[in-house]
Structure 1
Amino acid sequence: MSGNSNLETRSIIDELRNLDKNGLFDLGHPLLNRIAESFVKAAGIGAVQAVAREAYFTAVEGAGVDTSGMPPEISAGKKQRFPDLRGETNGKTVEALVKGTGKESLQWGLAAGMYSGLTYGLKEARGVHDWKNSAMAGAITGAALALTSDGHSHEQIVQCAITGAAISTAANLLTGIF
């Protein structure tokens, strides 16, 4: 038995720790790495959220639960459902689920990649990472996200920009407190 004592034995935990340090991608530039990593992570979250929401409403409708007493913010999710899904088990339903999930994944990924890239770029350009970078990146990302929705209006774009700026600024200011 000639074993090489120089071989490393790594556990899954070691690999995951290394992944946190190096990231998922090495595209040659930290900006590209951040955008790609943020896109992939958020797109996955968006896909899970879209499928979970559809599964919930399908289960609620199948059980005959009356949703008229639900708060408007919960029942409003029914409006965001995939329009071609009808609870049938056919190819059109599966195709609608895949298309809808893909669209939502793309929206989440683009928003996260855009925000991450903007905050990194502003940090590099200004030389400091502060709430102003977060506010600007949040506003631009919010406006861009509003543009991806169906039937967007000027008011909706402005509201999304303000909301994006407010949320990202609050997140930046609260970092380290909790």
Structure 2
Amino acid sequence: MSSNLETRSLLDELRSFDKGSFFDLGHPLLNRIAESFVKAAGIGAIQAVSRDAYFIAIEGAGLESGSGLESTGVKKQRFPDLRGETNRKSLEAMVKNTGKESLQWGLAAGVYSGLTYGLKEARGAHDWKNSAVAGAITGMTLALTSEDSSHEQIVQCAITGAAISTAANLLTGIF
């Protein structure tokens, strides 16, 4: 048994995610939420690190990224603590941004996955209605994680989440 563990490659480990349950928390709903959270949080972390690295590189090279200009023409710094240099404050800001981003991605995936599973079990059907409700609640949850969430932003995120989720559900059988 130990020789099998020693010879397994990273690719074998990644393939095993699709075959079985990564977590066994005693209930399929909890397993699904935990797996979705961990997988999406990893994707969110990769996305945040690559975005922050891009902005650090652009700023360090003295180039304009184009996205940091306000309507007044004044350059607005996207991450005020990231300076394009190797220092402790920049690293701490990057870790903070990465943690927040991965938490948001994991939260969205866990909430959506848990809701679709719970609604499927409660209603006995998996259809666009489950996707719409789960997408709306997930959108509201994400809006509430932003720093300045307004009533309008929460409603817009709920509508957007419901629309994207419903469209994805309806298009699943086509492609």
Q: TM-score, normalised to structure 2's length? A: 0.84
Q: Deviation digits for residues 17-63 of structure 1, max 9, x if unmatched?
A: 54422121111111001000000011011111111111111222233
State which of 152, 158, 161 in structure 2 corresponds to 1:161.
158
Structure 2 counterpart SS, 1:155: helix
The question of whether the paired residues in 2 share the 8 Å contact of 1:35 and 1:113 is answered with yes
The aligned counterpart of 2:84 is 87
The aligned counterpart of 1:75 is none
The aligned counterpart of 1:96 is 93
Structure 1 counterpart SS, 2:174: coil
State which of 165, 169, 174 in structure 2 corresponds to 1:172.
169
2:69 maps to 1:53: no
Q: What 5-or-longer segments of structure 1 have no aligned partner?
A: 1-6, 73-77
For 2:84, give the aligned amino acid.
G
Root-mean-square deviation (Å): 2.7
Structure 1 counterpart SS, 2:38: helix
- State the distance in 1 between where 2:167 and 2:77 align: 27
The question of whether the paired residues in 2 share the 8 Å contact of 1:47 and 1:104 is answered with yes
- State the distance in 1 between where 2:35 and 2:47 align: 18
For 2:49, give the aligned amino acid.
V
State which of 39, 53, 61 in structure 1 corresponds to 2:37.
39
The aligned counterpart of 1:63 is 61
Q: What 5-or-longer segments of structure 2 have no aligned partner?
A: 70-74
For 1:61, give the aligned amino acid.
E
Tell me the number of residue pairs that the alignment of Structure 1 and Structure 2 aligns. 166
Note closer, same or farther for the CA distance 1:80–1:161 as it changes in structure 2 (3 Å cut): farther
Note closer, same or farther for the CA distance 1:51–1:29 as it changes in structure 2 (3 Å cut): same
> Which stretch of the first structure deviates more once superposed, 108-117 or 18-27?
18-27
> Which stretch of the first structure deviates more once superposed, 94-103 or 84-93?
84-93
For 2:156, give the aligned amino acid.
Q
Note closer, same or farther for the CA distance 1:177–1:51 as it changes in structure 2 (3 Å cut): same
- State the distance in 1 between where 2:114 and 2:90 align: 36
